[in-house]
Structure 1
Amino acid sequence: MTHDIQIIGGGLAGSEAAWQLAKRGFKVKLSEMRGSGDMTAAHQTEGLAELVCSNSFRSDDSDKNAVGLLHDEMRRLDSIIMRAGEVARVPAGSAMAVDRDVFSAEVQRTLEEHPNITVIRERVDALPETGLTIVATGPLTAQTLAESIVKATGQDRLAFFDAIAPIIHRDSIDMSKCWIQSRWNKRTEASNEEGDYINCPMTKEQYHAFHQGLMDGEKTEFREWEADTPYFDGCMPIEVMAARGIETLRYGPMKGVGLDNPYDTTEEHPQGRWPYAVVQLRQDNKLGTLWNMVGFQTKLKYGAQVELFRTIPGLENAEFARLGGLHRNTFINSPLVLDRQLRLRGAEHIRFAGQITGCEGYVESSAVGLLAGMMAASELTGADWTPPPRTTAFGALLSHITGDAEAETFQPMNVNFGLFPPLHDVKKKQRKEAYTSRAKAELGEWIAGTDVVPA
């Protein structure tokens, strides 16, 4: 098939960009390295849009949460990632979590069945010299292509470490020591009847011993060229958090607030008291057979993980479907090397999309892929591109990547209300709702006035 545009990378951003272009009538060649004999350090399958870390797209609350608002905006623009997410959705309280295998299969099926998309399993080693191209190779870009990007940008690569949480087989969890409950008993339509998290409680003594085990456990060693690579705060290894102080985890992923331990009841607390600390597990697949350890991204070596995590009450006989891991992520200095349409300065036929641009998170990566696809569609039709308002989640994220952030200190960023134009005249308690209501109204106006949006 003769194609109008090539997309390099079949992850979340590349898949979303391909979908946005194909449904507008453009022929897309989607090049994906996995399946050609090559594999990254973190992927485990050849499936398009594979989720390599958590299975959560985070909050789905579009009225008070920035990433929930981004969910809403993507749905309004017919995102394939949001479509597949609904098909693969599993209970996760107010968050949106998916069965990762079902999700990837749904994205791949939809793209491969589209007559305007041809998926080619091939490794691309250099940026194309001609032809409209979107590079969406993500944070695990192959070394040869990464070197080509460095040559084209004239800038050293920026990089950070990303950690992966373990996944446990449900039937190996001792539920006589754990219980199912959502924090504060919050439920959504996707929630399980009892709650959405398995909670493993710890006493003060157990917590302190566990903390010491995190500090003493054998860690993955860095290669010499990795020694100065920083972590991204949004995916911090649990032992790195633990090193910040003995109480840090109790106010982070191991906080017991809002959870009633039924094994520790008193006359004053007949429903159970809050545990000193707790390890939470979230459902990872639709069958409910796999559960991931929430916030337990780790760089502990495999043997150390098994030994330490089996000291957690209820996980003494835990069987791990996947242990935690650590991989090096790569991204470009987008404010310096990309223009406002995500095009590479000096080579405007090439756009970048997804995590390689310095956005962070599944949803943010997909959103930038969606925008890159729309920008390319606008260019192919000869229409003028009008960016989404900065007051929207789309616009705030895009503005941060392409110029609002300081190039000298640029780091990966999740969408958050700090990226939005401020509303100083609104009371603090009402500000989140004000941000989202303003964004929804202005996105509607943008959609109505933008020629390239309808498909």
Structure 2
Amino acid sequence: MTASMQIIGGGLAGCEAAWQAAQRGCLVELYEMKPTRFSPAHELDLLGELVCSNSLRSNAPDSAVGLLKEEMRRLDSLIMRAAEATAIPAGTALAVDRLRFAAYLTQVMAEHPRIRVIREEVTNLPETDRPVILATGPLTSEAMTASLIAMTGEQHLAFYDAIAPIVAADSLNMELIYRKSRWDDDTPGDYLNCPMDEAQYNAFIELLGNAQTVPLKAFEEPKYFEGCLPIEVMCARGRDTLRFGPMKPVGLADPRTGKEPHAVVQLRAENRDETAYNLVGFQTKLTYAEQQRVFRTIPGLEQTEFVRLGSIHRNTFICAPVLLDQFLQMKKRPGLFLAGQLSGVEGYVESAATGLLAGINAARLALGQTMAAPPSGTALCALIRHLTETDPAHFQPSNVNFGLFPPLLGRVRKKDRGGRRAELALRLLEEWKEESLG
């Protein structure tokens, strides 16, 4: 009898898990509720829709997220294939054309001979002897959340993630805006920059600080992820907070004057045709009217057309250290795996990485093989350690970072540590592939 499994959720984690399992010989039923039902943040009926940003962050091999990408590539990650096939210029970052990216994943899922995409909502955890991967994402429905809570006996946690606005390229004032990427002195660069002098910056901060935000509902409690704070929350922390954050001017001297502005708002291309740009770091919970009023005071955006305004949505995740084992399997229900942001990671790449690991282990379970956890020292293991070894009382979602890795042995210069970690991690990964994955 052919091994089979169910995967609930057609986002990055679900698609990656389906690919990994199917490539290992399992039949996969992939359930996706769109287009029957959409979450508050989704608009397309395609699989793998990106809603917060089109950037998968740094591609530098000596960065933690760059290392994670390389580990995934070496494990034949579908998300990495899709990203590279639909990449757009973004300096040292890996950014994609959203529509082409989602279309790529949708086509692969539809055409794979061992994957069947079922377009219907699943509201309860299935009662089955087959492995199940739950990858319903940060906006898991109330019904499925209730089912998960009933099974675990644990109250879920929530934090709030904000979406940045997107503007039309042909509505930008290029007489004020200049093209330059930080530290790329010899090239025009992939980012557009809106420079501010001190008076303009102070006026912007004053306006932003007094702007109206969307009120939280009575049952909501603001728990923001530190790596994706709303712009107005950062502003409230101090007048210069934004100048040392998303509006940092360092390395962005205006090539027309040679002078470094007091502050800079950066715009990143949203698609290959560069017809739309994302306001980098400007995730927000301002009302739509206030976004247009406040952000049009940014030099170069005075007459801009907003292709998409920012918004805020709730992200749901479990207390992974209590509930998950090192294979991303629920301790209270063997055979049920969690992947994606619901498991307690943050970020596109991290979500896909947990999908990759859950897909591998669910397939191995279905095939009667021993499950395998990635070795210590790899970026994949760093994510697992965060999910399973963090103090439950202080658990919060996290991106991958070198703080999650074990310490390096011996003395290594600070500038060499990233490279040394990457060299070690990739060697360990190759040994793991050969010895544990076959």
TM-score normalised by length of structure 1: 0.94
Amino acid at match of 1:222: L
Are the aligned partners of 1:281 and 1:293 in contact in 2 as well (CA < 8 Å)?
Answer: yes
Alpha-carbon shift at residue 338 of structure 1 (Å): 1.4
Percent identity for Structure 1 against Structure 2: 52
1:21 aligns to 2:21 (yes or no): yes
Task: Identify the match of residue 89 of structure 2 among 78, 86, 91.
Answer: 91
Question: Any idea what the Cα deviations from partners look like across 1:62-107, whole Å, max 9, x if unmatched?
Answer: 1x20000001011111111000101110011000000010000001
User: Relative to structure 1, is the Cα distance of residues 236 and 186 closer, same or farther in structure 2, using a 3 angstrom cutoff?
Assistant: farther
Amino acid at match of 1:113: E
1:45 aligns to 2:44 (yes or no): yes
Alpha-carbon shift at residue 186 of structure 1 (Å): 6.5
Q: In the aligned structure 1, how far is the partner of 2:372 from the partner of 2:159?
A: 33
Question: Any idea what the Cα deviations from partners look like across 1:214-271, whole Å, max 9, x if unmatched?
Answer: 1111101000110x231001110000001000000001100111112144x3xxxxxx
Alpha-carbon shift at residue 381 of structure 1 (Å): 1.9
Amino acid at match of 2:429: L
Structure 1 residues 198-277: aligned runs within 5 Å:
198-226=192-220, 228-263=221-256, 265=257, 272-277=258-263
Amino acid at match of 2:6: Q
Structure 1 residues 155-174: aligned runs within 5 Å:
155-174=154-173
Any idea what SS the aligned residue of 1:224 has?
A: coil
Amino acid at match of 2:217: R
1:298 aligns to 2:284 (yes or no): yes
1:365 aligns to 2:358 (yes or no): no
Question: Any idea what the Cα deviations from partners look like across 1:88-138, whole Å, max 9, x if unmatched?
Answer: 100110000000100000011011100111111111111112232000001
Alpha-carbon shift at residue 337 of structure 1 (Å): 1.0
Alpha-carbon shift at residue 424 of structure 1 (Å): 5.1
Query: Which residue number corresponds to residue 343 of structure 1?
Result: 329
Structure 1 residues 73-222: aligned runs within 5 Å:
73-130=71-128, 131-185=130-184, 194-222=188-216
1:60 aligns to 2:59 (yes or no): yes
Query: Which residue number corresponds to residue 281 of structure 1?
Result: 267
Amino acid at match of 1:70: L
Q: In the aligned structure 2, how far is the partner of 1:385 from the partner of 1:20?
A: 14
Query: Which residue number corresponds to residue 303 of structure 2?
Result: 317
Question: Any idea what the Cα deviations from partners look like across 1:356-383, whole Å, max 9, x if unmatched?
Answer: 0100000000000000000011112222
Any idea what SS the aligned residue of 1:295 has?
A: coil
Alpha-carbon shift at residue 201 of structure 1 (Å): 0.3
Are the aligned partners of 1:7 and 1:14 in contact in 2 as well (CA < 8 Å)?
Answer: yes
Alpha-carbon shift at residue 384 of structure 1 (Å): 1.5
Question: Any idea what the Cα deviations from partners look like across 1:256-291, whole Å, max 9, x if unmatched?
Answer: 11112144x3xxxxxx10000010000110111011
Alpha-carbon shift at residue 343 of structure 1 (Å): 1.4
Alpha-carbon shift at residue 349 of structure 1 (Å): 2.1
Q: In the aligned structure 1, how far is the partner of 2:120 from the partner of 2:369?
A: 32
Amino acid at match of 1:274: E
Question: Any idea what the Cα deviations from partners look like across 1:29-61, whole Å, max 9, x if unmatched?
Answer: 00001112x110111111100000010000001
Any idea what SS the aligned residue of 1:367 has?
A: helix
Amino acid at match of 1:245: G
User: Relative to structure 1, is the Cα distance of residues 19 and 239 closer, same or farther in structure 2, using a 3 angstrom cutoff?
Assistant: same
Query: Which residue number corresponds to residue 342 of structure 2?
Result: 356
Any idea what SS the aligned residue of 2:234 has?
A: helix
Are the aligned partners of 1:65 and 1:432 in contact in 2 as well (CA < 8 Å)?
Answer: yes
Q: In the aligned structure 2, how far is the partner of 1:261 from the partner of 1:428?
A: 31
Alpha-carbon shift at residue 448 of structure 1 (Å): 1.3
Q: In the aligned structure 1, how far is the partner of 2:403 from the partner of 2:205?
A: 33
Alpha-carbon shift at residue 342 of structure 1 (Å): 1.4
Any idea what SS the aligned residue of 2:437 has?
A: coil
Are the aligned partners of 1:93 and 1:186 in contact in 2 as well (CA < 8 Å)?
Answer: no
Alpha-carbon shift at residue 203 of structure 1 (Å): 0.8
TM-score normalised by length of structure 2: 0.97
Q: State how many pairs are aligned.
A: 435
Task: Identify the match of residue 383 of structure 1 among 347, 369, 378.
Answer: 369
Amino acid at match of 1:91: P
RMSD of aligned Cα (Å): 1.3
Are the aligned partners of 2:3 and 2:25 in contact in 1 as well (CA < 8 Å)?
Answer: no
Any idea what SS the aligned residue of 1:219 has?
A: coil
Structure 1 unmatched ranges of 5 or more: 188-192, 266-271
Amino acid at match of 2:229: M
Tell me which stretches of 4 or more aligned residues in structure 1 moved more than 3 Å.
none
Any idea what SS the aligned residue of 1:118 has?
A: strand
Structure 2 unmatched ranges of 5 or more: none
